[in-house]
């Protein structure tokens, strides 16, 4: 029977789960890690050798933890997360946490503790450079998106997976919180009061509204590949020499550009937030150059890897050459649209990002947020013009130097 576990119940659960990690009589300790919005997350470890032997227990609640019971969320997301982790592990085992136990009755997953890796967003706020990140992110996305698409799977096999990953409750959260509520008046929205005028203008911009509604229909109808579904820099844990992707509870079959755009858009949000976080002008310039260089590398390595997987293993029904060129271009354009939408919603909507929310001075925060709004809006409106990653990066660079006079 489902019941939410307290910290000590999680410890008892782990001790008696027969995991091969702890002895059944062992004294264990635990720590509440839930810094996310949604689930219970505990670390359970043996105190004799701190964190030498430890596991993470992640349990779904029937509602969103930070909001409360007024925001119901399906327990089934735990099944989705576990299955997605399994498929991810089959294509990129080094890039996801190992799963030790999935318990469908309790809607929980016991998994590898990724300590001492940290949430990437936090590292970016402190201008840490991650030289492995671009290659790892590219490898993860290319493998997952290619191998779960019709470019690789047989038609029936793909449709069986689509059925397995039908995730209506979590998709509805995205439909509402990413594509709808931020762009209308809604009680869940919150924004920096210094941006009242910008927010009013964005919500009155019919062209922008039409583009976002179109992106929403693509999100709702394009079962292109198995997405992570929430691939932002808070779902990535890093050290400078290794990368892990966590938290695929929003996984479903959707448009590839939604994952790619989430990542690029969150890197662009970090670029905007450096307005405050970087201490000197020189540090700001250099770190922004590292971020935009990383965005370029993520896309270029992703595209190269995706193309090589296609060349090596797409069935002959898919023509080589122009077909793939157009496919990749469309993917980049979708990424611009989805990435831009995700940037805007983090400033106008319910769920914000710590990169920006940690800026306590509202005036300074507004300056960073205006940069992010300009990037997001332009990515969306000009997405059909995007021919290369440099077109997206050019928009970031124009926004961080400020509006050009005239």
Instruction: Kindly state the smallest distance separating residue 33's Cβ from Mg ion, in Å.
Output: 13
Q: Which residue is nearest to ligand ADP (CB)?
A: 36
Q: What is the residue-wise DSSP string for 88-137? A: HHHH-GGGSPPEEEEETTTTEEEEE--TT-EEHHHHHHTT---TTHHHHH
What is the per-residue binding string for ligand ADP in 112-151, x denoting contact by CB under 6 A?
A: xxxx---x--------------------------------
Query: Rounded to whole angstroms, how far apart are CA atoms 117 and 240?
Result: 9
Would you count residue 37 as binding ligand ADP (CB under 6 A)? yes
Would you count residue 263 as binding ligand ADP (CB under 6 A)? no
Q: Which residue is nearest to Mg ion (CB)?
A: 247
Q: In this chain, which of 111, 138, 335, 336 binds ligand ADP, going by CB under 6 A?
A: 111
Structure tokens at 275: 């307005």
Instruction: Kindly state the smallest distance separating residue 281's Cβ from ligand ADP, in Å.
Output: 31
Query: Rounded to whole angstroms, how far apart are CA atoms 217 and 212?
Result: 9
In three-state secondary structure terms, 356 is helix
Instruction: Kindly state the smallest distance separating residue 146's Cβ from ligand ADP, in Å.
Output: 25
139 interface partner picked from Mg ion, ligand ADP, none, CB below 5 to 8 A per type: none
Would residue 129 be called left, alpha or beta, if left means φ above 0 and alpha means ψ between -120 and 50 degrees? beta
Q: Which is nearer to Mg ion, 247 or 369 (CB)?
A: 247
Instruction: Kindly state the smallest distance separating residue 347's Cβ from ligand ADP, in Å.
Output: 19
Query: Rounded to whole angstroms, how far apart are CA atoms 165 and 234?
Result: 22
The kind and range of the H/E element at 347 are helix 322-348
Instruction: Kindly state the smallest distance separating residue 212's Cβ from Mg ion, in Å.
Output: 23
Cβ atoms of 268 and 295 closer than 8 Å = yes
Q: Which is nearer to Mg ion, 72 or 394 (CB)?
A: 72
How far is CA 308 from each of CA 92, 256, 295, 302, 304, rounded to the nearest angstrom? 16, 17, 20, 10, 6
Query: Rounded to whole angstroms, how far apart are CA atoms 401 and 403?
Result: 7
Would you count residue 106 as binding ligand ADP (CB under 6 A)? no
For residue 40, the Cα-to-chain-centroid distance in whole angstroms is 19
Q: Which is nearer to ligand ADP, 113 or 259 (CB)?
A: 113
Instruction: Kindly state the smallest distance separating residue 246's Cβ from Mg ion, in Å.
Output: 8
Q: Which is nearer to Mg ion, 249 or 303 (CB)?
A: 249
294 interface partner picked from Mg ion, ligand ADP, none, CB below 5 to 8 A per type: none
Q: In this chain, which of 13, 14, 17, 39 binds ligand ADP, going by CB under 6 A?
A: 39
What is the per-residue binding string for Mg ion in 240-259, x denoting contact by CB under 5 A?
A: -------x------------
> How does 357-378 read in b/e, with b if 16+ C-beta sit within 10 Å?
eebeeeeebbbbbbbbbbbbbb
Query: Rounded to whole angstroms, how far apart are CA atoms 391 and 127?
Result: 24
Q: Which is nearer to Mg ion, 178 or 291 (CB)?
A: 178
Using CB under 6 A, which residues numbered 232 to 251 contact ligand ADP?
A: 246-247, 249
Residues at the site binding Mg ion, with contacts judged by CB under 5 A: 38, 247
Residues at the site binding ligand ADP, with contacts judged by CB under 6 A: 33-39, 41, 56, 58, 97, 111-115, 119, 246-247, 249
């Amino acid at each position: 029977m489902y019941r939410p576990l307290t910290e000590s119940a999680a410890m008892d659960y782990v001790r008696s789960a027969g995991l091969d990690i702890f002895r059944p009589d062992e004294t264990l300790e635990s720590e509440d890690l839930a810094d996310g919005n949604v689930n219970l997350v505990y670390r359970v470890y043996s105190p004799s050798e701190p964190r030498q032997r430890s596991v993470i227990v992640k349990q779904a609640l029937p509602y969103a933890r930070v909001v409360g019971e007024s925001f119901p969320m399906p327990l089934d997301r735990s099944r989705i997360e576990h299955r997605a982790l399994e498929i991810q592990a089959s294509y990129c085992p080094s890039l996801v946490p190992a799963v030790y136990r999935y318990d469908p009755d309790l809607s929980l997953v016991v998994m590898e503790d990724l300590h001492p890796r940290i949430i990437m967003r936090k590292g970016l706020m402190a201008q840490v450079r991650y030289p492995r990140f671009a290659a790892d992110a590219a490898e993860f996305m290319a493998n997952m998106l290619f191998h779960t698409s019709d470019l690789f799977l047989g038609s029936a096999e793909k449709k069986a997976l689509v059925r397995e990953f039908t995730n209506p409750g979590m998709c509805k959260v995205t439909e509402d919180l990413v594509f709808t509520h931020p762009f209308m008046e809604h009680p869940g929205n919150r924004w920096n009061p210094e941006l009242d005028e910008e927010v009013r203008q964005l919500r009155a911009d019919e062209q922008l509204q039409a583009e976002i509604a179109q992106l929403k229909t693509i999100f709702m109808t394009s079962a292109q590949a198995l997405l992570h579904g929430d691939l932002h820099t808070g779902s990535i844990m890093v050290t400078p020499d290794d990368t892990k992707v966590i938290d695929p509870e929003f996984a479903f079959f959707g448009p590839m550009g939604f994952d790619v755009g989430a990542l690029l858009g969150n890197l662009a949000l970090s670029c905007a937030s450096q307005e405050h976080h970087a201490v000197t002008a020189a540090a700001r310039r250099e770190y922004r150059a590292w971020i935009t260089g990383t965005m370029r590398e993520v896309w270029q390595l992703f595209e190269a890897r995706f193309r090589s997987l296609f060349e090596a293993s797409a069935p002959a029904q898919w023509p080589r050459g122009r077909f793939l060129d157009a496919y990749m271009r469309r993917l980049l354009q979708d990424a611009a649209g989805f990435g831009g939408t995700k940037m805007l919603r983090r400033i106008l909507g319910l769920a914000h990002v710590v990169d920006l929310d940690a800026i306590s001075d509202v005036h300074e925060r507004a300056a960073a947020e205006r940069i992010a709004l300009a990037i997001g809006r332009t990515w969306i409106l000009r997405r059909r013009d995007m021919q290369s990653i440099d077109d997206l990066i050019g928009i970031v660079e124009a926004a961080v130097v400020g509006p050009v006079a005239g």
